[in-house]
Structure 1
Amino acid sequence: MELEDLRRLRRARDVMDRDYAEPLDVPALARVALMSPGHFSRSFRSAFGETPYSYLMTRRIERAKALLRRGDLSVTEVCFAVGCTSLGSFSSRFTELVGESPSAYRARDHRDQGIPACIAKIYTRPVRNGEAGVRGRGLA
């Protein structure tokens, strides 16, 4: 993959990181990357190991986890705050990536246990079922 294509893909990924709560779709992200939607999707997956949609949903679930830990918003409010438009789809995806429902996650005790943020981020990033064995608990 060419350096210019990687730069364009990173630009689209940055848009997802920054504007995760906005309605984003592949055609809009492909325009940011100056690529056709098909080429963008294939290139994104090749460069980052997951589809643009999967990456965006992972970002949204990460943000949702942070909002749910605060405990001052309902699950429905969190769903809409992170850019999801369907509570059912949000709950299903959250449960798939986190391993428990948003309500159960919100109800748990999330007090700081003295783990450095850089390490906590590794272990709290949502993991798809197939990735759990690959990533394991190492730092690799």
Structure 2
Amino acid sequence: MTSRKSHRPGSTDASATPVEGASSPVPQGLQDPALLRRLLRAKDRMDSASHEAWPIERLAAVSGASKAHFARAFKLAFGLPPHRYLLTRRIEQANTLLRDTELSITDIAYATGWESLGTFGRIFRDITGMSPGAMRKQAQANTQPLERVPACVLKAAQRPDLNIAVLEKRRQTADGKVGPSTKEVS
């Protein structure tokens, strides 16, 4: 008589091995170099055209995986779900355009892939803590010392923290709790 493996939450499977930095075991399929290459291909496509719509169906087609498998594997590989990763890229690009160009905020919103100026402003404020106009004023006021810093270093330093969902950030600030990006350093 063969025994059946338990697939209850929290149980481990012999085919799962832990990955450095991950809190849970990673399915064997994620260690497949071909899958990782396909995930990187989807990530690169989002990077190069973050202004375009990237529904999960399109990303899954690029990576040659099912929608559910792609979403799980992407989060395990890169630490963020695909939608949050795309939001991060769009906010980074908007920050760069606000800092380096004289485009109107409306033009920046549409150029970075937002379909609504209101949605852009709300999400931008939720993630960065500032409105796009306030961010532009602050960036332009601080241009002198930052002119010598390479753009790639500036982008990394200004990358928004999206380890938690935007709605959760909103709830935390509404409850009066300090969000992860606004914790005071002692």
Question: TM-score with structure 1 length normalisation?
Answer: 0.86
Name the residue aligned to 2:161.
127
**Deviation by residue 1:55-87 (Cα, 9 ceiling, x = unmatched):** 011101100001111241111110000011011
**Deviation by residue 1:70-109 (Cα, 9 ceiling, x = unmatched):** 2411111100000110112211221122121111111222
Identity %: 39
Name the residue aligned to 1:93.
123
How many residues are matched?
136
Name the residue aligned to 1:64.
94
- Indicate whether 1:113 and 2:145 are aligned: yes
Rg larger in 1 or in 2? 2
Query: How far off is 1:24 after superposition?
Result: 1.6
Question: Is residue 98–residue 136 contact of structure 2 (8 Å, CA) maintained in 1?
Answer: yes
Letter paired with 2:143: R
Instruction: Name stretches of at least 5 consecutive residues in structure 2 with no aligned partner.
Output: 1-29, 163-168, 170-178
Q: Quick one: distance in 1 between partners of 2:154 and 2:41?
A: 26
Query: How far off is 1:38 after superposition?
Result: 1.0
Question: Is residue 20–residue 59 contact of structure 1 (8 Å, CA) maintained in 2?
Answer: yes
Q: Secondary structure at the match of 2:91?
A: helix
Instruction: Name stretches of at least 5 consecutive residues in structure 1 with no aligned partner.
Output: none
Query: How far off is 1:133 after superposition?
Result: 7.9
The structure where helix makes up a greater share of residues is 1
Question: Is residue 98–residue 126 contact of structure 1 (8 Å, CA) maintained in 2?
Answer: yes
Query: What pairs with 1:1-140 in structure 2 (closer than 5 Å)?
Result: 1=30, 2-108=32-138, 109-114=141-146, 116-117=149-150, 118-128=152-162, 132=181
Larger RCO (CA under 8 A, 6+ residues apart): 1
Q: Cα RMSD over matched residues?
A: 2.3
Letter paired with 2:145: Q
**Deviation by residue 1:110-130 (Cα, 9 ceiling, x = unmatched):** 414155325433321112366
Question: TM-score with structure 2 length normalisation?
Answer: 0.66
